[in-house]
Amino acid sequence: MKSIAFVALLFCAIGFSSSNNLICNTPELDIPKEWVDMTHGCIGKMREQVLEELKASMQYMAMGAYFAKDVVNRPGVSEMFFKSASEERDHAIKLIHYLLMRGELTTNISDLIKRNLVPPVTTWENVVSAMKAALKLEADVTRKIRKVIEVCEHDTASNPSNNDYHLVDYLTGDFLEEQYHGQRDIAGKVSTLEKMMKDHGKLGEWLFDKKVQAGEL
């Protein structure tokens, strides 16, 4: 072990002493830019949406953690919210991949993902209140996705005749489709849970959680 440590220190010393000579200069590549054609307004809205998806992911993660607490103990609901957190994070990754595919994510990358994304709410009165908050969150994300579509379809500030058909089709077919199905699913769960709690109170919430955990809801 001493010999290994000595060799490691020796390499570090050599690297430090010759660090001024180990400079790698990469020449600027002459790549045509005609294929990079997204407008500034559209790029800006896409970058904003990445952050919105991550904010939603953090909020869902807070929900999952809260209902996983031993004093709350709603494992089915907790797992449902953790799954939603993963889905929102995946949405952010998809948007990043799209920007990379279009050759647009080349500057200000450090500003793309903000640090300290703290969820605004970390406790809930019951599962119903959390589910209603989740539905409002999804509706808010949906509105912002539609705003991205509007800007990318008619970014007149950058180009009066602009219409990014491919991106608009991608957001409409993939993102909005999932958003609308998700909203309907949450609304249905809220309706079912409120009816169960009206008849059975906290026992109804417990039964609802068991059904969610078993994949019956």
Sequence spans of domains, the chain: 36-213
pTM attached to this predicted model: 0.83
Query: Percent of the chain beyond pLDDT 90?
Result: 70
107 pLDDT exceeds 80?
A: no
pLDDT tens, 70-80?
999 999 999 99
- Range of weakest confidence among 12-16, 153-157, 162-166, 196-200: 12-16
* pLDDT: which is higher, 203 or 157: 203
Taking the C-alpha atoms of residue 77 and residue 63, their distance in angstroms, rounded to an integer, is: 9
Q: Tell me the residue type at 208.
A: F
Q: Tokens 């990445």 sit at which residue? A: 50
Q: Binding site for Fe cation: which residues?
A: 53, 88, 91, 138, 179
Top-level class of domain 36-213: mainly alpha
Q: Binding site: which residues?
A: 53, 88, 91, 138, 179
- Report the candidate in 87, 88, 74, 82 with the shortest Cα–Cα distance to residue 213: 74
Q: How confident is the model at residue 24 (pLDDT cuts 50, 70, 90)?
A: low
- Report the candidate in 197, 71, 33 with the shortest Cα–Cα distance to residue 131: 197
